[in-house]
Chains A and B, each alone.
Chain A
Amino acid sequence: MIDSAAEVHPEDRAANPYSSVVAAHPQPFYARLRDECPVAAMEGMPEGVHIISRYEDVKFALKHHEIFSSDFVAVDIGQDRPLIPLQIDPPEHAHYRRVMDPHLSAKELAHLEADARRLVNEVVDRFIDRGECDFHAEFSMPLPCLVFLSLTGLPLGELDRFLTWKDNIIRPETFDMDEAAAIRRQTGADMYAFFEDAIDQRAANGTDDIISRFMKTEVDGRLMSRDEMLDLCYLFILGGLDTVTATLDCSIAYLAQHPDHRRELVDDPSLIPNAVEELLRMQTPVMQVLRVVARPHRMHGVEMKPGDHAVVMLGSADTDPGEFGADADLVNLHREANRHLAFGGGPHRCLGSHLARLELRVALEVLHERIPDYRIAAGADLEYSPGIREIKSLPLVFA
């Protein structure tokens, strides 16, 4: 196996986090980054991109939005406007979060648990008798989308359409930049049109789903505008689907290869909430978040200028022994202190984190109850995608 540490080049103070070697096994890459160049340049890119990797530095960047801003549309993902609240800074950001957070709080989502459990069971029903599955295609991909459709009161039959949209936006099937941009724009237009309809329907006859509730929500003493509603739907698809898919892929691939840990969860399901956090920490499926430098800042002797970009390596922070101790690189289902940043931190802390946690917990509970013993099919080569660590195909065999 090629060691991902080879993707760090301390002599040039450069690194390439977006290789498949890093995505598959990022821990050696992270360790070398933290130890040998805590602020690295992006290999093969012009100056002005800074990779931040130590826990304390990552936390600082997440907290200090006045230096590391999210206020940019640098990432063209087919959206018409900056995505609220993801691409807006405080103080305006806080107005949105104040009204959005309650709809996605742990308390508010508790009522969704029964639905989520039913959906997980239905997904498992489709393959359990076969004694094998492609976990990625048959579980990790559909589940978050089905939960999203259930939460938004949209027909579950829209599953395929949503999965196609999500793929078009996040990883369009082309290497041509212009073509990719065109696919994203077209998909964006289709999605806006679809949600225009959904919003119209709810305006005509109110239902009790999260879109209807947002339509009645006031921001700064006024109802949310149509554009804001659309932006929000866009954000849900972008933020809520692939991230949970990647977390499920990474978590189950780990447990399939570590039967002792899996057996612990089967024997004592009360460990599952802790396991969810520990796997989020160790795997950190969203490897990094991006910020733009708003004020001159110096970090480990590197000058950052306004307009520069910062690649804030959450995964590296989450395996930093400076924070997590000597066993930072090992999964410990009984870890006592776990201040992981897999959902980011600071004002932009993942809006959907409580929904994600619910999905992950219920998924691990049902899976280990119904399929206590599974392993990766012989000869399977797991290919992780960089950035958001999905596994393209995850063939499992049940015992």
Chain B
Amino acid sequence: MKVRLDDELCVGHGRCYALAPDVFDADDQGHCVLRFDDEDLPERFVDVAKQAVANCPEDALAMEG
């Protein structure tokens, strides 16, 4: 499973890296950066990644696969 980010939509609420710091990082501006860009997520992070995705107020994140 992968996480997809639409960085046009991210405005830096920061819910993703607060909830799942192993999966998401922040750039200088506080916008989302994927730690597993275009890579499959390690199984142990899948649940927490899903929770973070469900908490993005801008619909900038999605699970894939």
Question: Could you mark each residue 346-368 of chain A with 1 if its beta carbon is under 8 Å from any beta carbon of chain B, else 0?
Answer: 11010001100000000000000
- B20 near A: Cβ within 8 Å? no
Known: A102-B28, A102-B29, A349-B11. A337 touches B55 (CB 8 A): yes
- A95 near B: Cβ within 8 Å? no
Where chain A touches its partner, the secondary structure class is helix
Contact of B29 among A105, A336, A337, A343 (CB under 8 A): A105
Cβ-defined contact, A106 with B55, below 8 A: no
Known: A273-B18, A343-B13. A102 touches B57 (CB 8 A): no
> Residues of A contacting B57 with CB < 8 Å?
59, 339-341, 345
Cβ-defined contact, B12 with A349, below 8 A: yes
CB closest residue in chain B, given A348: B11
Cβ-defined contact, B14 with A106, below 8 A: yes
Known: A102-B29, A107-B30, A341-B57. A336 touches B12 (CB 8 A): no
A-facing residues in B1-60 (Cβ within 8 Å): 11-15, 17-18, 26, 28-31, 51, 54-58
Cβ-defined contact, B55 with A105, below 8 A: no
Q: How many residues of A contact B (CB 8 A)?
A: 25
Cβ-defined contact, B13 with A349, below 8 A: yes
- A303 near B: Cβ within 8 Å? no
> Residues of A contacting B51 with CB < 8 Å?
336-337
> Residues of A contacting B31 with CB < 8 Å?
101
> Residues of B contacting A345 with CB < 8 Å?
11, 13, 57-58
- A97 near B: Cβ within 8 Å? yes
> Residues of A contacting B29 with CB < 8 Å?
97-98, 101-102, 105
Cβ-defined contact, A354 with B11, below 8 A: no
Docked CA distance A229–B26 (Å): 26
Give the distance to chain B from A22, nearest Cβ to Cβ, in Å. Answer: 24
Known: A336-B54, A337-B55, A346-B58. A105 touches B11 (CB 8 A): no
Cβ-defined contact, A107 with B11, below 8 A: no
Docked CA distance A338–B56 (Å): 8
Question: Could you mark each residue 319-345 of chain A with 1 if its beta carbon is under 8 Å from any beta carbon of chain B, else 0?
Answer: 000000000000000001111110101
Cβ-defined contact, B28 with A106, below 8 A: no
Cβ-defined contact, A339 with B28, below 8 A: no
Known: A336-B54, A338-B55, A340-B57. A105 touches B13 (CB 8 A): no
Sample of 8 further A-B pairs with CB below 8 A, known A106-B14, A106-B17 = A101-B31, A105-B14, A106-B18, A106-B26, A277-B15, A339-B55, A341-B57, A354-B30
Residues of A bordering B, CB below 8 Å: 59, 63, 97-98, 101-102, 104-107, 273, 277, 336-341, 343, 345-347, 349, 353-354
4 closest A-B pairs by CB: A105-B30, A337-B54, A101-B29, A339-B57
